[in-house]
Structure 1
């Protein structure tokens, strides 16, 4: 069986697709991964032994330069993303059995159109649930399209979201579909998602309530990381009590220097040492204190097993990794799906959801004091034992055992 995986997004989108690719290859499938051309992502695929094709423009400059919520330049970016799926990705997918895609709506709408033209199976996957229509939750606002504040019915809000998606992307998509002989589609969002999208999240951390949409929840797609921790980091960890990890992954923050200062001071206020992850925000310790250690790209699975708590932004990937490690969280959501994961951490009792993205020393110190108390730690260890680790196997089997393949 030949499978093409197409992904456009930051680390939290790319890494799960690499994990699925590895599992598929181990089960005998031929897999090609289409990823953004950022060296971080092509290198991630190469290290996993997965053939990868760079597609589209780099993600990191986009993520770190676009003003949050701004629609400036959105139409051109959307057009480029669709064209990449209907061009390079379609060329890679020719003759394959299944095309699996994840990313912003222009990516998945373009990917399904490519699959339709090629006559191959298409699977839409989301690595977080907030974008999937459900009467149990409101939709996230689209860039430049705030939802009307007077509307509280979730079904009505999802209808508004569908119209917004059509206004933003319908003409762009249908123009490209017409150019390759495909008919127009009316509901871009629903077309891209299909009637049975996959949700690659853990059902304990992210339970999906049944809806009219036939969501298939596979569990999170996790690839075991066997990389050793750097010697300097190991020396730091061995030199004292477990430190507190602070990091924001691929998420930009408004004032990296200030948030690093606040975080380090709050950790020190709890009598703890700190490991500061630079990430795309470029965080760094505020001084040369021996109680702080800066890291770049590192094996989080191994590191989180050695820390007392994790202060993070609340992405699906970091939340899942910390939950599997059985350590308490303090989540500082910066946007997108991160408030959802912060709420889940609080609801499960495995940590604290900070109120707002910009903490003070006092607010973060108080949150840490709560997270480091015995109860959240005990609860975190209990939840860790319930987090599934077979998500890629479930997904791979759904692909390999599909009726009519």
Structure 2
């Protein structure tokens, strides 16, 4: 069986596919991944023996470029065109396609599968992109919702209008170029009737709706066996567990100030600090021995050795910290991150920072709550409830889809 996993986005959109790709290969499938041409993505996939088919431009370069919202339709058009070119070629001979990532990439991936006549499944790594009466949609840059509108049903209708306005013309132009009919509702086309939600049901509980049948597989996490760097291990062994500070793929305005504020707030709580460079290029502002800066590292191993994790609230980082039993301080920057911050608070496993820019006082307040003994106890209890079989569930579902098609039956999970 040949499987194509197609995505475009930040690390949170790519890393889960690494875990799924590894599990699929263990079950005998041939796997290839279409993703941004960032070196870290190629390295992670190479480690599990899966080739990266590069699509469009570097995700890190685009994220840190801070382009105005008006450029979003143009970038989407370029990305969709790349999907129809690169992904179309990569999908030839494949038995099933998994489409995820940002909306225009997923729309292109689903269209490629439709053109080639192969089953596909739409996957999201956070439920707030799925229409539901229980939560509102995210507003796209440059297209805020009208002030005072709070009804979720109305907001989801407006969401359809925004997505069609931003991506509809580009998608339908490319579909017409390969002989496909136009799509009237881009969002619902991408989601389909049976989307997959690759998140943990404790951390991200889905409330069923009558509109579609969501398949929640559990989070897609690959067991990370990479050893921690020797100098990092030496720092960890030299004292009490430090507080980790890192903001992943977020560029973080005034990143130098953010690092300094974080280190000072951590020190004020009597802890050492461990700062991750990330896409914001955070760096230490002094050379005292109670601080250490780290680049790429195994978070699964690292988070089990820290006093708390201060992070941006990405789905992957939140899940990894939760599985490790580490108390969290979430400093949400954008998109789905406020949602994950809210879940951390609701579960009692950490604190949320009010706003994207921490100050000494605001971060100190959040750290006090996260570092309280009762938070550590609760975080440890929740850690034991987080599922670890998400990639196995998803891989077997994909195998089952292909088997059904081979038997002349409809792919029920598409």
**TM-score for the superposition, normalised by structure 1:** 0.98
Q: Is the 8 A contact 2:224 2:298 kept in 1?
A: yes
Secondary structure class of the residue paired with 1:95: coil
Give the Cα separation in 2 of the matches to 1:314 and 1:383: 17
- SS of 1:401 mapped into structure 2: helix
Q: What is residue 319 of structure 1 aligned with on the other side?
A: 318
**1:223-234 maps to which residues of 2 (within 5 A)?**
223-234=222-233
Q: Which residue of 1 aligns with 2:100?
A: 102
Give me the whole-angstrom Cα distance separating, in 1, the residues matched to 2:349 and 2:27: 35
Aligned residue for 1:73?
71
Aligned to 1:367: 366
Aligned to 2:345: 346
**What per-residue deviation string (whole Å, max 9, x for no partner) do you get for residues 73-115 of structure 1?**
2122111111111111111101211110111111111111111
> What RMSD, in angstroms, separates the aligned Cα atoms of the two structures?
0.9
The CA deviation string for residues 14-50 of structure 1, in whole angstroms up to 9 with x for no partner, is: 1100110000000011111111111111111112211
Q: Distance in 1 between matches of 2:337 and 2:44?
A: 24
Q: What SS is found at the alignment partner of 1:158?
A: helix
SS at 2:233 equivalent: helix
The separation in 1 between residues aligned to 2:179 and 2:167, in whole angstroms, is 18
Do the aligned residues in 2 keep the contact of 1:109 with 1:192 (CA within 8 Å)?
yes
* Aligned ranges 1:211-360 → 2 under 5 Å: 211=209, 212-360=211-359
Partner of 2:33: 33
Which of 128, 136, 139 lines up with 2:137 in the alignment? 139
Structure 1 residue 66: Cα displacement: 2.0
CA distance in 2, matches of 1:49, 1:110: 26
User: Hey, what does 2:151 align to over in structure 1?
Assistant: 153
Paired with 1:264 and 1:44, the residues of 2 have a C-alpha distance of 30
Q: For residue 58 of structure 1, what is the aligned residue in structure 2? A: 58
Looking at structure 1, the residues matched to 280 and 234 of structure 2 have their Cα atoms a distance apart, in angstroms, of 25
Contact 2:330 2:352 in 1 (8 A): yes
Q: CA–CA distance in 2 between the matches of 1:347 and 1:250?
A: 25
Q: Hey, what's the Cα distance between the residues in 1 that align with 2:253 and 2:10? A: 18
Q: 1:285 touches 1:292 (CA, 8 Å); kept in 2?
A: yes
Cα distance, 1:144 vs structure 2: 1.1
Q: Which runs of 5+ in 1 are unaligned?
A: none
2:123 aligned residue: 125
Length-normalised TM-score, structure 2? 0.96
Q: What's the offset of the Cα at 1:51?
A: 2.0
Instruction: Note if contact 2:7-2:102 (Cα within 8 Å) is conserved in structure 1.
Output: no
Q: CA deviation at 1:313?
A: 0.5
Corresponding residue to 1:85 among 83, 86, 97: 83
- Checking the alignment, whether the CA contact within 8 Å between 1:133 and 1:213 is kept in structure 2 is no
Residue of structure 2 in register with 1:171 after alignment: 169
1:269 & 1:86 partners in 2: Cα distance?
53
CA contact (8 A) 1:19 1:223 kept: yes
Separation in 2, partners of 1:74, 1:363:
33
What per-residue deviation string (whole Å, max 9, x for no partner) do you get for residues 326-373 of structure 1? Answer: 010001001111000000000000000111111211111121111111
User: How many Å apart are 1:72 and its aligned residue?
Assistant: 2.7
Whether the 8 Å CA contact 2:123–2:197 is kept in 1: the answer is: yes
Q: Distance in 1 between matches of 2:147 and 2:201?
A: 31
Output the CA distance in 1 between the equivalents of 2:363 and 2:393.
Answer: 38
Q: What is the SS of the residue equivalent to 2:305? A: coil
Does structure 2 retain, via aligned residues, the 8 Å contact 1:126–1:198?
yes
1:15 alignment partner in structure 2: 15
Match of 2:121, SS state, is strand
Cα offsets for 1:155-184 (capped at 9, x unmatched): 111011101111121111111111111111
Checking the alignment, whether the CA contact within 8 Å between 2:42 and 2:51 is kept in structure 1 is: no
- Residue 148 of structure 1 and its aligned partner are, at CA, apart by 1.1
2:189 partner SS: helix
Q: 1:150 deviation in Å?
A: 2.1
Q: Tell me if the contact between 1:349 and 1:376 (Cα under 8 Å) persists in the aligned partners.
A: yes
